[in-house]
Amino acid sequence: MEQLKFVGKRLAYLVIMLFGVATLVFILTKLIPGDPTVANLSQRALNDPEVVAAYKAKYGLDQPILVQYVLYIKNLLQFDLGTSIRTSKPVLSELARCYPATIELALFSILIAAVFGILFGVISAIRRNSILDQAVRAVSVTGVSIPSFWFALLVLYFFYYKLHIFPGPGRLDNSFSAPATVTGLYVLDSFLEGNIPKALDALSHLILPGTVLAAFTMGLITRTTRSNLLDVMSMDYIRTARAKGIGKVGLILHHALGNALIPVLTVIGLGLGNLLGGMVLVETIFNWPGVGQFAYESVLSADFPAIIGVALLIALNYMIINTVVDILYGVIDPRVRCQ
């Protein structure tokens, strides 16, 4: 009962935050400089007042701001994000088309970041102040500091153009057609289709962009794991376990690591939210048809309904992930439920 109350409270907070974010996104979008009529109509059409008036009436741009806001909230409650000015298709269907590509890349990236970040953090804590520790810390700082667009160009140049080890931009080689859509994740859909070579090709296309996107989050996870593991190792119950003759590896794996990873869960959640928002430059460089590339094209054409849809999707990602992390905190540590 206590757990259900805790979950219900977090879900109520989620609804309130979503309404606040939706309002803020609407206001900020209206403050963005630029006129969608100028971005989407030809010069000849702009010289015709009737065409301009018809265009504004079609997309509700001729209505007062308050009326636009009321219609916007009403449509949101009906899961209607409007029509994209650039593609003339519903924004929701456009997001549904490009979101699976971002999900696939984000999940692959966060898996790399979590596995190697925790592994490097544990190794660094075990071999504290050693040469190995210094090397791991240098790698983590580099991952956090290096610009993602520069790293993307670097790995694409060396591993694709020069060495031909990994495939280039895109989700599949030109010799393969897109698998039948079940989940929208090419690797999984190719397996479900029974086409193993296509699945392996889709997986190989994930490696370079996935590694680039994982670098930043992996650096954060490594540093957080190392710091928290060292803090836990200095606690009294660890000293007691050490005095009982428990080995160093068993001490870390069975006693210290569980408590040390609780803050790491937050870093992983935030990293996943960041990746699900779509990394614009990386997706553009690798020609990855995800949310980031869709957002980039929408901003260039001043496609306000699409910009609002992307912003709401990113905000929703973060809020859902934070809510899940809060609930997991309550599962791992019952004391959190009382807060």
93 inside domain: no
Indicate whether 334 pLDDT > 80: no
Residue 72 shares a structural domain with residue 136:
no
% residues pLDDT > 70 (the chain): 89
Residues 319 and 281 in one domain: no
CATH (domain of 173): 1.10.3720.10
Q: Please give the pLDDT value at position 114.
A: 92
For residue 285, the 8-state DSSP code is: H
Helix ranges (H only) for the chain are 2-31, 36-40, 43-46, 49-58, 65-77, 91-126, 131-145, 148-155, 186-193, 196-233, 236-243, 248-251, 257-276, 280-285, 291-300, 304-332
The amino acid at residue 174 is N
Q: Kindly state whether residues 217 and 243 are assigned to the same domain.
A: yes
**Distances from the Cα of 235 to the Cαs of 40, 232, 256, in angstroms?**
62, 5, 9
| Neighbour tally for 182: CB within 10 Å | 12
* DSSP code at position 277: T
**Whether residue 223 is found in the same domain as residue 187:** yes
Span 158-179, average pLDDT: 89
Q: Please give the share of the chain, as a percent, with pLDDT higher than 90.
A: 18
- 15, amino acid identity: V
pLDDT of residue 15 exceeding 60? yes
Residue 55 in this model has a pLDDT that exceeds 70: yes
| Same-domain check for residues 223 and 140 | yes
Is 95 a member of any domain? no
**Which comes out higher in pLDDT, residue 301 or 337?**
301
Assign 249 a pLDDT band (cuts: 50, 70, 90): low
Residue range of the domain that includes 3 = 1-86+302-339
- Residue 65 has a pLDDT of 80
- Whether 75 and 111 map to the same domain: the answer is no
Q: Per-residue pLDDT tens for 260-301?
A: 777 888 888 888 888 887 678 888 889 898 888 888 888 887
**Residue 196 burial class via C-beta count within 10 angstroms: exposed 0-12, middle 13-18, buried 19 and up:** exposed
Question: Are both 111 and 197 inside the same structural domain?
Answer: yes
Query: Ranked by mean pLDDT, which of 88-97, 196-205, 309-318 comes out on top?
Result: 196-205
Number of structural domains (the chain) is 2
Q: What is the pLDDT of residues 197-233, one digit of tens each?
A: 999 999 999 999 999 999 988 988 998 888 888 887 7
**Could you tell me if residue 78 is inside a domain?**
yes
Top-confidence residue, 160 or 240: 160
Strand, coil or helix: what is 87?
coil
Label residue 247 by pLDDT band (50, 70, 90). Answer: low
Whether residue 168 sits in one domain with residue 77:
no
Q: How would you classify residue 60: left for phi > 0, otherwise alpha for psi between -120 and 50, otherwise beta?
A: left
Instruction: Give every CB contact of residue 107 below 8 A, 6+ residues apart in sequence.
Output: none
> Which region holds residue 299: left if phi is over 0, alpha if psi is between -120 and 50, else beta?
alpha
Task: Round to whole Å and give the CA distance between 220 and 245.
Answer: 33
Tell me the two tokens of residue 154: 């670097």
274 and 306 fall within a common domain: no
If asked whether residues 146 and 11 sit together in one domain, one would say no
